[in-house]
């Protein structure tokens, strides 16, 4: 084993550099100041459909991990307080709150739980971005009730295409 000889001054300089803390604003030279790693990673994640999936009144579509969704119509197409898991995987799972129909018309005043499953990640032609193009849901049949049958969101709608002009 060969040990290189280092002068005392050079050794002291190396130790000083190694032990000097970086300032809070210091960045590696290879990371541009204008790009944050979280923004770059966020841009690589798929969205839920595209922004025009439900026309001009839809909300939350075309976003990564939307916290609320709205089809632009009746209250049963409005989901709030959504928390997602496994976003970016083949299937993403969400839990939130929505309104559900009463048996003889109208809606319950109390929001009910809804479970969501977004699937089929593909590149949408209209945006060029990767997106979940299909979503299923399960809704409580009434406040305090049980989950109903799985349904395909928007009746077999491809979330990569616009539903309304």
Q: pLDDT tens digits, residue range 20-53?
A: 443 344 433 443 333 344 566 667 899 999 988 8
Tell me which residue has tokens 């809070």.
Answer: 24
Does residue 111 lie within any of the structural domains? yes
Q: What is the CA radius of gyration of the chain?
A: 25
Does residue 113 lie within any of the structural domains? yes
b/e burial code for range 53-72 (CB count within 10 A of at least 16 → b): bbeeebebbbbbbbeebbbb
Mean pLDDT of 9-21: 41
Query: Average pLDDT over the chain, rounded to whole?
Result: 79
Contact 43, 63 (CB under 8 A): no
Identify the helix (H) or strand (E) that includes residue 18. Answer: helix 8-19
Does residue 13 lie within any of the structural domains? no
Calculated CA dihedral for residues 49, 52, 57, 62, nearest 10 degrees: 40
Asked if the model's pLDDT at residue 112 lies above 70, the reply is yes
Structure tokens at 84: 């997602």
Does residue 11 lie within any of the structural domains? no
For residue 39, the model assigns a pLDDT of 60
Structure tokens at 94: 């969400």
What domain count does the chain have? 1
Task: State which residues form the domain around 109.
Answer: 46-152
Mean pLDDT of 79-103: 97
Does residue 84 lie within any of the structural domains? yes
Of 50, 53, 60, 49, nearest to 163 (Cα)? 53
Does residue 20 lie within any of the structural domains? no
Q: pLDDT tens digits, residue range 114-147?
A: 999 999 999 998 888 999 999 999 999 999 999 9
- pLDDT confidence bin for 15, thresholds 50/70/90: very low
- pLDDT confidence bin for 59, thresholds 50/70/90: very high
Helix (H) and strand (E) counts in the chain: 2, 7
Does residue 69 lie within any of the structural domains? yes
CA distance 71 to 53: 8
Mean pLDDT of 84-99: 97
- pLDDT confidence bin for 73, thresholds 50/70/90: confident
Does residue 90 lie within any of the structural domains? yes
């Amino acid at each position: 084993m060969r040990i290189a000889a280092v002068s005392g001054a050079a050794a002291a300089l190396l130790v000083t550099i190694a032990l000097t803390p970086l300032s809070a604003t210091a960045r590696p030279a290879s990371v541009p100041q204008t790009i944050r790693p979280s923004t770059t990673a966020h841009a690589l994640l798929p969205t839920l459909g595209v922004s025009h999936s439900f026309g001009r009144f839809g909300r939350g579509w075309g976003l990564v991990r939307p916290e609320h969704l709205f089809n632009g119509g009746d209250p049963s197409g409005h989901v709030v307080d959504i928390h997602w898991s496994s976003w970016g995987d083949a299937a993403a799972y969400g839990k939130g709150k929505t309104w559900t129909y009463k048996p003889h018309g109208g809606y319950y005043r109390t929001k009910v739980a809804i479970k969501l499953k977004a699937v089929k990640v593909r590149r949408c032609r209209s945006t060029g971005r990767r997106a979940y193009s299909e979503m299923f849901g399960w809704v409580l049949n009434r406040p305090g009730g049980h989950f109903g049958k799985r349904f395909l969101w928007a009746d077999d709608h491809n979330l990569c295409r616009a539903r309304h002009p």
